[in-house]
Amino acid sequence: MTARDTAAGTELATRLVVAGDAGVAEAARVLAAGGMVAFPTETVYGLGADAGNGEAIARLYAAKGRPTFNPLIAHVASATAARKLARFNTAAERLAAAFWPGPLTLVLPKAADCPVAALATAGLDSIAVRLPQHAVAQALLRAFGGPVVAPSANRSGHVSPTTAAHVLADLGGRIDLIVDGGATPLGLESTIVACLGESLGESLGEPGLLRPGGVPRAAIEQVLGFPLAAATAACGQAAPRAPGMFGSHYAPRTRLRLDARAVGGREALLAFGPRLAQGAAAAVKILNLSARGDLIEAAANLFSHLRALDSAGADAIAVMPIPHHGLGEAINDRLRRAATG
Ligand code: TXA
Ligand code: MG
């Protein structure tokens, strides 16, 4: 990755390779090095990053220009690989058997030892998993050998790309590599179904449609033998607010105090930068999002640090000010939601 900082942000030399053995091998190498690779799936082009690499995922959010950390879909090469990330209830097993590989994403309870970075799931206990059908996507997932998170490869607020040219127009200079595999056959995102039954209790247990997409509702209901629930019933607060947007957020139980310049009694400290807030020595526990003041590193640490401080037994978590530029906007958005939630 040859990166150059410009006034507009970090500029990358985006390379374009043709899908094929050499292109796929190069794409897998870039992913392993923490880079961002756009690749075709049967639905739309995805922008992939190593699902286990929090900083690579933070760079991906920055490249898309997302003002918030929306949870991402983890793409896997096999159903066996999917089972290492999430727990499947009966409905999920049936849907996976019927529609994988293919344009169906399942939102499932995260496995206890799920290797996907907390930032990719926005700190949630659930994870979206998809086994794509496209030959290039499958080859890349096998060559990389691990889960790849991939939102649609467009700038935030733009439409999903169905050709490499769309990706280049939207993300040229912001990502490392584009694998050109021609136009995507479906041109419509995957259908997302939540199967959270076992983790959220009976009333929230019905499989629910979170986003219509490549697999029609009727086909899913035929396999299940009963109608899909409304998203609210399936996911509680995870109901869509707008197509493709979900209002579910990780919120700590401990009260958050934002823009803290000093630490009060019985408070834990979520720090940022090299100089700690006043009175930090007396904090119940201190975790620094980034001691060197790097917003990419801070984003990668955000949800795991919040969880760790939430269980520290403090009366409140004091959060030092975070600059509002770059990924700082999304970090501050999440902190504000966590503080009022
Ligand atoms: O067809 C597709 O699904 C494409 C290709 C690249 O695979 N990907 C895609 O990703 O459309 P994206 O990030 O543009 O949309 C994924 C949607 C988001 O709206 C996100 O909120 C939702 O999935 N999502 C992800 N994880 C979730 C979770 N744990 N709970 C609820 N919604 C989730
Ligand atoms: Mg999208």
Mean pLDDT of the chain: 89
Q: Inform me whether the pLDDT recorded for 199 exceeds 70.
A: no
**pLDDT category of residue 232 using cuts at 50, 70 and 90:** low
Q: Inform me whether the pLDDT recorded for 63 exceeds 90.
A: yes
- Ligand 1: list residues with CB < 6 Å: 41, 43-44, 46, 70-73, 105, 107, 121, 124, 126-128, 130, 150-152, 189-190, 192, 210, 238, 244-246, 248
pTM of the model: 0.88
Which among 99, 152, 179 is the best mutation to test ligand 1's pocket, defined by most ligand atoms within 8 Å of the CB? 152
Identify the weakest region by mean pLDDT among 12-16, 230-234, 238-242, 332-336.
238-242
136 alpha carbon to ligand 1 midpoint, in Å? 20
161 alpha carbon to ligand 2 midpoint, in Å? 9
Sequence-distant (6+) residues with CB within 8 A of 151 are: 46, 47, 60, 64, 70, 72, 73
Q: Are 152 and 38 in contact (CB under 8 A)?
A: no
Supply the residue whose CA is at minimum distance from atom 17 of ligand 1.
244
Predicted local confidence at residue 231, as pLDDT: 67
Q: Which of 285, 291, 331, 328 is nearest to 308 (CA)?
A: 285
Q: How many CB atoms sit inside 10 A of residue 231's CB? A: 21
Write out pLDDT tens, residues 261-319.
999 999 999 999 999 999 999 999 999 999 999 999 999 999 889 989 999 999 999 99
**pLDDT category of residue 220 using cuts at 50, 70 and 90:** very high
150 alpha carbon to ligand 1 midpoint, in Å? 8
279 alpha carbon to ligand 2 midpoint, in Å? 43
**pLDDT category of residue 11 using cuts at 50, 70 and 90:** confident
